[in-house]
C-alpha cells in the first residue's frame, strides 16, 4: 500500500487505521484529520506495558458536547491504541446531568425527584462501550459544579434551602437515577465511581473539627459547602450508603481528593476511609496527582507521594491515581526533559509499591487527566501537562512512562 499523506476521512480512514494499528507497527504514515499520528499508534501500547499492574486511563476533556475529546477521530484513535480506561473531566458532573427545567416540572407535578439527563455523557459512554474501554464515573457528589438550585425549594434559583431530610431524599434519587441508567444502558462500562470528591480540607477555618475527618465547610475562601450546609458532616457517609445501595456488584466506590500527599490531609483521608471501610461502604481511594517539576516529593522529601501511597495501602483498599498531571510552566526542551523525569519517577514508585511488583499497594488504575497539550478544541490553550503535544506527537514524558512499563515486561520474560 502506498504511503498516505493526504487527509483521510470516513470509511477509508477506518480501514487504513485498522490495517496499521492491528499490526502494532506503523511502517507507513497514519494521518487522521490532518494529524500524522504514526508515532502515536506505533510500538507497545501503554495498556500492554502495564497490563500486569494496573489499567492505563486517560481523561476525556471538554466543557460541553462540542469540545468533547471523543469528537476528534485523531485523539480517539490514540486513546483506543494506548488506554483501557477513561474518565470524563467535566461532562459527567452534577452540573451537567441535573436538569433544572425538568426538576421544576417534576416539582410542579408533585414529583419530588430531581430530573436527570445524560446527553452530555452519551458520546463518551458509547465510545467506551463500542471500543472495549471501561470508564471511571466522575463524580456523584462534589461541592463545586453542583448547581445551587439543587439545594433550594422548588428547584428554583431563589427558593429557600430545603431541610436535611428533603436533601437526603434528593441525593438518594440523584445517585439512584445515575447508577440505574448507566448500569442498564451501559452494563460493564463504568467500573468505578468517584462517589464523593474533595470533601476533606486542611485549610484552617474551612473545615469542621468534631468528626475527626476535617470535612470541608467552605471553599474558594468564603463560599459555603452546600452539602455540609444543608445535610451536615455525614453527607459523605450518606452518599456512600446510597451509592452502595444502587451500585452493581462489580462497580467499585471511591473517595477522590487532591493534595493527598500533604501529611495532614493524608491522615484525615485515612481516618475517613477507615470509617467508611468499617461500614462496608468504600472500595478505594483516588489520589488526584496534580504536581509540578518540584512539588511534591515523589520517592521522598517534602510531602512525599510515596509516603502517602504507602499509608493508604495500609487500609487494604484499592488505590487509583485519578488525575495525574505534571505541569511545566513553559514548553522548552529542558522543561519537557524534567517533566519526563518526574513522570518516570512517579511510575517507578507506583510499580514498586504495587502488589504486582511485590509491594503493599493494590493500585488498579492510573489516569493521566487528558491526552494532549494545547487542546485542539480550546482556543489558545496553554496546557503542557500531557503525554502528547499539540500535534498529537509523543512527548519525552510519553517515552519515559512507556519505558518504565517496557522495562517491567522485559524483566518478567
Task: State the Cα–Cα distance between residues 405 and 51, nearest whole angstrom.
Answer: 9
User: Which pLDDT band holds residue 23 (cuts at 50, 70, 90)?
Assistant: very low
**Per-residue confidence band for 339, with pLDDT thresholds at 50, 70 and 90:** very high
User: Which residues have a catalytic role annotated?
Assistant: 198, 323
pLDDT digits (tens, 9 = 90+) for 72-121: 999 999 999 999 999 999 999 999 999 999 999 999 999 999 999 999 99
Whether the per-residue pLDDT at 389 is higher than 50: the answer is: yes
First to last CA, the chain: 35
Which pLDDT score, from 0 to 100, does residue 413 have?
A: 67
H helices present in 295-372, as ranges: 305-313, 333-353
pLDDT at 27: 61
Within 10 angstroms of residue 295's Cβ, the number of other Cβ atoms is 12
DSSP states of 149-186 as a string? GGGBGGG-TTSPBPPHHHHHHHHHHHHHHHHHHHHHHS
pLDDT category, 301, cuts 50, 70, 90? very high
Strands (E), 236-371: 252-257, 284-287, 290-291, 318-326, 362-368
d(CA 161, CA 235): 16
pTM of the shown model: 0.93
* H/E run at residue 99: strand 98-99
Count other C-beta atoms under 10 Å from residue 60's C-beta: 28
Mean pLDDT over 152-167 rounds to: 98
Question: Which tens digit of pLDDT belongs to each residue from 252-280?
Answer: 999 999 999 999 999 999 999 999 999 99
| Model confidence band, residue 22 (pLDDT cutoffs 50, 70, 90) | very low
Q: Mean of the pLDDT values across residues 168-178?
A: 98
pLDDT digits over 34-60, tens only? 999 999 999 999 999 999 999 999 999
- Measured distance CA(257)–CA(199) in Å, rounded: 7
Q: Taking 70 as the threshold, does the pLDDT of residue 11 lie above it?
A: no
Q: Can you tell me the distance from the alpha carbon of 406 to that of 391, in angstroms, rounded to the nearest whole number?
A: 25
Q: Three cell numbers at 77?
A: 484513535
Q: Which CATH superfamily is domain 44-412 in?
A: Glycosidases (3.20.20.80)
Spans of all domains in the chain:
1-43, 44-412
Amino acid at each position: 500500500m502506498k504511503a498516505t499523506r493526504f487527509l483521510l476521512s470516513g470509511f477509508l480512514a477506518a480501514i487504513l487505521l485498522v490495517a496499521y494499528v492491528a499490526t502494532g507497527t506503523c511502517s507507513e504514515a497514519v494521518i487522521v484529520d490532518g494529524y500524522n499520528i504514526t508515532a502515536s499508534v506505533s510500538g507497545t501500547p501503554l495498556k500492554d506495558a502495564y497490563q500486569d499492574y494496573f489499567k492505563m486511563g486517560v481523561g476525556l476533556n471538554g466543557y460541553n458536547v462540542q469540545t468533547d475529546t471523543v469528537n476528534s477521530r485523531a485523539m480517539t484513535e490514540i486513546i483506543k491504541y494506548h488506554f483501557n480506561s477513561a474518565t470524563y473531566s467535566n461532562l459527567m458532573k452534577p452540573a451537567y446531568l441535573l436538569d433544572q427545567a425538568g426538576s421544576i416540572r417534576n416539582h410542579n407535578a408533585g414529583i419530588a425527584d430531581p430530573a436527570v439527563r445524560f446527553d452530555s455523557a452519551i458520546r463518551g459512554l458509547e465510545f467506551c462501550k463500542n471500543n472495549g474501554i471501561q470508564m471511571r464515573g466522575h463524580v456523584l457528589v462534589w461541592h463545586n459544579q453542583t448547581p445551587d438550585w439543587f439545594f433550594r425549594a422548588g428547584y428554583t434559583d431563589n427558593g429557600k434551602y430545603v431541610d436535611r431530610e428533603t436533601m437526603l431524599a434528593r441525593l438518594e434519587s440523584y445517585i439512584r437515577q445515575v447508577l440505574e441508567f448507566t448500569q442498564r444502558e451501559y452494563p460493564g462500562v463504568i467500573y468505578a465511581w468517584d462517589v464523593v470528591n474533595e470533601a476533606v480540607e486542611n485549610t484552617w477555618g474551612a473545615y469542621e473539627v468534631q468528626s475527626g475527618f476535617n470535612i470541608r465547610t467552605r471553599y474558594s475562601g468564603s463560599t459555603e459547602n452546600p452539602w455540609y450546609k444543608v445535610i451536615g458532616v455525614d453527607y459523605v457517609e450518606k452518599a456512600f450508603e446510597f451509592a452502595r445501595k444502587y451500585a452493581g456488584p462489580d462497580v467499585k466506590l471511591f473517595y477522590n481528593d487532591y493534595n493527598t500527599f500533604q501529611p495532614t490531609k493524608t491522615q484525615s483521608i485515612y481516618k475517613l476511609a477507615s470509617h467508611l471501610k468499617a461500614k462496608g461502604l468504600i472500595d478505594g481511594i483516588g489520589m488526584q496527582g496534580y504536581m509540578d517539576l518540584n512539588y511534591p516529593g515523589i520517592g521522598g522529601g517534602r510531602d512525599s507521594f510515596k509516603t502517602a501511597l504507602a499509608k493508604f495501602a495500609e487500609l487494604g483498599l484499592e488505590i487509583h491515581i485519578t488525575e495525574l498531571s505534571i505541569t511545566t510552566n513553559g514548553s522548552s526542551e529542558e522543561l519537557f526533559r524534567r517533566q519526563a523525569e518526574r513522570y518516570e519517577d512517579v511510575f517507578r514508585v507506583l510499580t514498586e509499591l504495587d502488589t504486582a511488583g511485590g509491594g503493599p499497594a493494590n493500585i488498579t488504575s492510573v489516569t493521566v487527566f487528558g491526552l494532549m497539550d494545547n487542546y485542539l478544541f480550546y482556543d489558545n490553550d496553554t496546557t503542557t501537562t500531557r503525554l502528547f503535544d499539540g500535534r498529537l506527537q509523543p512527548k519525552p514524558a510519553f517515552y519515559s512512562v512507556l519505558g518504565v512499563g517496557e522495562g517491567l515486561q522485559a524483566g518478567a520474560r
